[in-house]
């Protein structure tokens, strides 16, 4: 870990940006009043995780990752039936005044288990590898999809793709994967547009209304997106200052953290932010030379989530409940990424 101080320093700077956002959120709605303190606590806890994982035997965790995989699927099933519902998605477990989102930690466990499986099965055929790992990813994907948490399922598939990219797989298999994905997508959309009653029976009303978000996006009628774009457009070079957001838009500290940040620090500030974030990703990518199989899916996951969140905020992607890593409010997402960054920082200690 001592060989990667730049990643730690950049994390501290990203923490400052996040705290600025969560402080300003209190001026939007009163329910955001304690977000600053909670986010600071989670950040401090995240840095403690980095320190703790630098001191333990990470190989033991990888060796027993299958047990973790089984346990997280059990937790996902429990959440589906007994979890708390937030914004139409039953994907939270309440513990006192705190809520935990198991799907966020599923990302971590999938990476850990798929890495161990990949290293221990280097010699199996690529087709067999692709099929087995797909089943490993498919199980939590189905459970999470039923909650429904579409964003998390996208993350799982990004992780799967990340591991496939580390194998010497011929192009035709990627083409086949794309064809199958398109066929499933077309079938899914056909049900939604032409057989809505059957769609609701299969996926439920909550998911039907979430699909409405996508159709609203395509027609340019999205309330959240329009408000976020207006806020960005009115930010100017230096921002409107803390607590001076042009207009209210839902989920400002979470899904629309980028729009809120632009409003706070302006276009010059956001250029500096993007440079810092890009540098953070760059130093993670440099670790690929040390362990391609582990670092590739972690880096890909971070890049995709970062990119999609910004595209959502500027109106080029449907609103699917995707946060901005290390900036958006939320303990589960933040801690899950701190665990992954800990693996990156301690990659030399991983012997598998």
The pLDDT confidence band at residue 338, using thresholds 50, 70 and 90, is very high
For the chain, give the percent of residues with pLDDT over 70.
Answer: 91
1 pLDDT higher than 50: no
pLDDT bin (cut points 50, 70, 90) of residue 241 is confident
- C-alpha 225/C-alpha 256 separation (Å) is 9
Higher-pLDDT residue of 244 and 90 is 90
- Residue 105 confidence class, pLDDT cut points 50, 70, 90: very high
The pLDDT of residue 322 is 87
pLDDT at 213: 61
Range of the domain at 246: 5-349
Average of per-residue pLDDT across 278-289: 96
Q: Domain total for the chain? A: 1
Q: pLDDT value at position 214?
A: 63
pLDDT at 287: 95
In this predicted structure, which of 27-41, 89-103, 130-144 has the lowest mean pLDDT?
Answer: 89-103
- Mean confidence (pLDDT) of the chain: 88
Q: pLDDT tens for residues 171-183?
A: 777 777 778 878 8
Interval 43-61: pLDDT, tens = 999 999 999 999 999 999 9
Using pLDDT thresholds of 50, 70 and 90, give the confidence band for residue 127: confident
Q: Quick one: average pLDDT of 214-218?
A: 60
Q: Is the pLDDT score of 200 beyond 80?
A: no
Mean pLDDT of 60-88: 93
> Is the pLDDT assigned to residue 310 strictly greater than 60?
yes
Task: Name, of 22-36, 73-87, 141-155, 337-351, the range with top average pLDDT.
Answer: 337-351
Q: Calculate what percentage of the chain has a pLDDT beyond 90.
A: 60
pTM for this entry: 0.89
pLDDT of residue 290: 94
* Three-class secondary structure of residue 195 per DSSP: coil
């Amino acid at each position: 870990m001592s060989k990667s101080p730049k990643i730690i320093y950049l994390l501290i700077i990203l923490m400052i940006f996040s705290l600025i956002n969560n402080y300003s959120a209190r001026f939007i709605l009163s329910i955001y009043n304690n977000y600053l303190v909670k986010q600071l606590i989670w950040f401090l806890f995240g840095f403690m995780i980095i320190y703790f994982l630098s001191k333990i035997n990470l190989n033991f965790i990888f060796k027993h990752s299958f047990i973790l995989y089984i346990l997280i699927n059990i937790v996902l099933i429990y959440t589906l039936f007994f979890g708390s519902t937030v914004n139409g998605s039953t994907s939270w477990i309440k513990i006192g005044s705190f809520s935990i989102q198991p799907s966020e930690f599923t990302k971590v466990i999938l990476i850990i288990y798929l890495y161990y499986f990949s290293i221990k099965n280097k010699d199996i055929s690529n087709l067999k590898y692709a099929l087995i790992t797909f089943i490993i990813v498919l199980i939590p994907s189905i459970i999470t999809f039923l909650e429904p948490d579409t964003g998390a399922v996208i993350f799982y598939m990004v992780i799967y793709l990340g591991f496939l990219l580390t194998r010497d797989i011929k192009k035709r298999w990627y083409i086949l994967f794309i064809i199958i994905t398109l066929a499933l997508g077309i079938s899914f959309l056909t049900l939604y547009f032409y057989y809505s009653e059957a769609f609701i029976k299969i996926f439920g009303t909550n998911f039907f209304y979430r699909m409405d978000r996508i159709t609203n996006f395509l027609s340019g009628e999205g309330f959240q997106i329009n408000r976020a774009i207006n806020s960005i457009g009115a930010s100017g070079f230096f921002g409107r200052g803390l607590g001076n957001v042009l207009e209210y838009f839902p989920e400002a500290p979470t899904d629309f953290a980028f729009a809120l940040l632009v409003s706070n620090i302006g276009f010059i500030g956001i250029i500096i932010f993007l440079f810092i974030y890009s540098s953070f990703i760059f130093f993670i990518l440099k670790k690929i030379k040390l362990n391609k199989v582990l670092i590739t899916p972690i880096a890909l996951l971070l890049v995709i989530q970062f990119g999609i969140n910004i595209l959502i905020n500027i109106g080029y992607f449907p609103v699917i409940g995707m946060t901005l890593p290390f900036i958006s409010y939320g303990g589960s997402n933040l801690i899950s990424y701190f665990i992954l960054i800990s693996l990156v920082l301690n990659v030399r200690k991983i012997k598998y």
